Amino acid sequence: MTVDAIRNTTDDKVAGVLRLVLAMVFLMSGAMKLLVPMLAEAWSGQLVAANLPFYTLSRWSVPFVEIAVGAALAVGAFARVASVVVTAIMVVATYVHVVVDDPSLFPLQPSEPIVPLVVMAMSWFILWRGAGAWSMDLRAVQSDR
């Protein structure tokens, strides 16, 4: 698969809106895990309760990865690559929601994996259609024509 194929997209407004919504979700989620003490504590508790490996690495790297993915989605650069990363993060998030049965560790969402599954579905749409309207990927495609 070439870089051109990865960036290929059309002026799809639905894809553009979904991409921007995902961008906001990941920019906010990553920032809140770093900056809001109550949410940082809940995030840490989720990692411990789910018995995920590499606690310290995950505790500090995942929020920065989320911010980077959110930024890539916000500008629409390599959105398909970002959507694959989103899927990986949401697979783990779904697992955490299934195995952790302490609702206090999910202060801003239901303890059922509703949010991760919806986010994953949105990212699959971006994977299928590309970054869509208002994206750097679209500008790159248009400049190649």
pLDDT digits (tens, 9 = 90+) for 91-100: 999 999 999 9
Q: Is the pLDDT of residue 145 over 80?
A: no
For the chain, the straight-line distance linking the first and the last C-alpha, in angstroms and rounded, comes to 19
How confident is the model over 71-78, as a mean pLDDT? 98
What is the number of residues in the chain?
145
Q: Is the pLDDT of residue 1 over 90?
A: no
Domain span at 12: 3-144
> What per-residue confidence (pLDDT) applies to 144?
82
Q: Percentage of the chain with pLDDT > 70? A: 100
d(CA 39, CA 66): 15
d(CA 88, CA 122): 13
What is the tally of structural domains in the chain? 1
> What per-residue confidence (pLDDT) applies to 17?
98
